[in-house]
Structure 1
Amino acid sequence: MIRVLIADDSSLVRAILKDILAGGDIAVAGEAANGQEAVELTELLRPDLVVMDIVMPVMDGLTAIGEIMARAPTPILVLSASVTDREVDLAFAAIKAGALDVMEKPAENLVGTGVSFAEKLRETVRILSRVKVIHHHPRRRREPLVPSPAPAECRRSVLAIGASTGGPKAVMSIVKALPPGFPAAVCIVQHIASGFARGFTQWLDNESSLKVRLAREGDILMPGEALVAPDDRHMTIAGGAVRLLDTPPVNCCRPSIDPLFCSLAEGKGEEVVGVLLTGMGRDGAQGLRQIRERGGMTIVQDEASSVIFGMPRAAIALGAAGQVAPLDAIPAIITELFSVQGG
């Protein structure tokens, strides 16, 4: 049985969430009307997951997340009241503080396009409740990387990153660590709730030395600039330019990582460094294998540092991983790869 604590200052929202969650394999262990109650009940009840509002009295959700992670580390799902700039900024500050994922609060009828909010919430609760939360992963020694130099006529020109559950913080840690003047274009596909891609992009842009923006149809890949796949569109690259597609979901996702990786493998081959991070399922594994088969370099996040090891595990099983590394080692590996150039 999955035990959930609901923290929201609105009794109506708590009642709606309780009605959605209670039953089957999920039980509501408790309810909190403010951040202080959320911290105390988390310590007392030890739930498997906390569903957390951000804007609350007495103690706001952001402060409460910090307290919970310090006193009783627990998986936390943030529910944002809207996708306005302020709410989204708070949501990503919550992820930085330790929350695992973010969703928008339910609409009046609780139903969006396709999958209902209720179904999506229950699915997310099941996934996140299995995550073992720890403060940090110890830095481990690794063998020095000796990248295979690119052929003299080829220079690595694209860094492609794919991530899902637990990905926003992982992607941030990589993008933030890239040096000023990074000599390649960066393409990012992050599975995230609809409406949050723009806020995720702005968060990356604010925190890093690279220019980060949402991809637009026809954008040309430029060194030192990162493009993020927008909501509900596959991002592919053809002839060095972005194509945004409304084609059906791939691996149950849109945007999906595989279309980006496959398009880069076909068009750029040896010029690509592909990175696959934490996430549920298999998305990205096939595309990463194609990058490796076409002469590109591939990096997969290791199990110990992954929130969910599904996608990395699938890539390793397919032989797509040129190197498996802890998250905190990946930025240095990337920097080495792009500094060892042919010509």
Structure 2
Amino acid sequence: MKDNNSNTIRVLITDDSALAREVIKDIFRLTGDIIIVGEAADGAGAVELTQKLKPDLVLMDLMMPIMDGLTAIEEIMAHAPTPILVLSASLGDRDVNNAFAAIKRGALDVMAKPEGFATETVSRCFASAIIEKVRMLARIKVIRRRPSRSRGVPPSGPKSVEPHRILAIGASTGGPQAVMKIVRSLPADFNASVLIVQHIASGFAYGFAQWLSRESTIPIRLAKDGEEFLPGAALVAPSNCHMVVAGGRIKLTKDQPVNCCRPSIDVLFKSLAQEHGGSVVAILLSGMGKDGAEGLTHIRQRGGMTIAQDEQSCAVFGMPKAAIAMDAVDMVVPLGKIPLTISRLFVSRN
């Protein structure tokens, strides 16, 4: 049964550690709007309780007996689609790889369990972060939707005729799967540089880059300060660093967050507009807030091509919506058609 209070967020906890479940419950007792409607000690229990209780969000551990979290996520998304937040045991390669495998199967986001989690020693920072994350993700509707038709937004002025040499991608909540779909479609001989800013929990950027690279025909890795960005390869902004371009090289900075984000999509897009203008194709994907919208405006004004993911294919339409409202977008395109759009844009100019 759903709670009569529409502001209440109903959460199902899945973790084989009883202590971990108690720690999470203690955190949510500090709120007035998040309630625990059920607990499961394995993936099979999570699948059953999700169908029975219809929670607003599932907190999912991955390494569990009987049925692991990855299998449970597949079952939930197939039969009772529900927002899922994965709590990763650590930032080790195996756990990070599993976390991105979970996103591929339908989980919306990941967080790392802090040190001391199993001993009830949880920082205020983690408690605040998970509360904020649950409130945000629980509002997302994870339903299957029919793809929509793309539509163009008339450009504000004439476009540059210079070749497209840079593909810039910005994404936030709901973005990892979208970014994956795009980079996986790029051919091995893609003759442009790819720069990616993905808002993701601190410490997961390296695993995100590895995950993308395994699925792509072009090499993808974390960006390094001072390196060149070359055609046929993709660079991902590291955790807690802004990524900008200057003089044909990558510059990583610890400047203040922009739009509460570091790395910020706006920071990258503005630097690309200033240095490369019409040679840039910039894409803004699913995400909360407005990061990237102003940067798209700069790129469009300098003659670059700007694309926003459409509402129907977004997990969260916040960032693309903000960009469209600012008249920063040349085309609004469903995710499934963005790869073809990229192919046409780069082939037509090269």
Task: Tell me the distance in 1 between the aligned counterparts of 2:130 and 2:153.
Answer: 41
- Aligned counterpart for 2:78 among listed residues 59, 66, 70: 70
1:174 aligns to 2:182 (yes or no): yes
Query: 5+ residue gaps in structure 1?
Result: none
1:54-97 per-residue CA deviation (whole Å, 9 max, x = no partner) reads 00001000000011111111010000000111001111111011
Structure 1 residue 95 and structure 2 residue 103: aligned?
yes
Deviation at 1:341, TM superposition (A): 1.1
1:11 aligned onto 2:18:
yes
Q: How does 1:21-170 map to 2 (within 5 A)?
A: 21-22=28-29, 23-108=31-116, 109-111=121-123, 116-135=125-144, 137-142=145-150, 150-151=160-161, 154-170=162-178
Q: Distance in 1 between matches of 2:339 and 2:81?
A: 26
Quickly say closer, same or farther: Cα 1:206–1:78, change in 2 above 3 A.
same
Is 1:214–2:214 an aligned residue pair? no
Q: 2:250 aligns with which of 242, 260, 266?
A: 242
Contact 2:43 2:68 in 1 (8 A): yes
Residue matched to 2:207: 199
RMSD: 1.7
1:265 to 264, 273, 278: 273
AA at the equivalent of 1:263: S
Q: Secondary structure at the match of 2:38?
A: strand
What is the TM-score with the length of structure 2 in the denominator? 0.93
What is the total number of aligned residue pairs between the two structures? 336
Amino acid at match of 1:197: A
2:5 maps to: none
- CA separation in 1, counterparts of 2:239 and 2:152? 38
Deviates most, 226-235 or 19-28: 19-28
Matches of 2:287 and 2:230, distance apart in 1: 27
Structure 2's unaligned 5+ residue stretches are 1-7
Instruction: Give the whole-Å Cα distance in 2 for the aligned partners of 1:107 and 1:303.
Output: 38
Mapped to 1, the partners of 2:114 and 2:27 lie a distance apart of: 11
Counterparts of 1:142 and 1:201 in 2: how far apart (Å)? 29
User: TM-score, normalised to structure 1's length?
Assistant: 0.95
Is 63-72 or 16-25 further displaced after alignment? 16-25
d(CA) in 2 for partners of 1:107, 1:84: 13
2:264 corresponds to 1:256: yes
Kept in 2: contact 1:210–1:226 (CA 8 A): yes
What SS is found at the alignment partner of 2:129? Answer: helix
Spell out structure 1 runs of 4+ moving beyond 6 A: 143-149
Given that 1:213 and 1:226 are in contact with CA atoms closer than 8 Å, whether structure 2 keeps it comes out as: yes
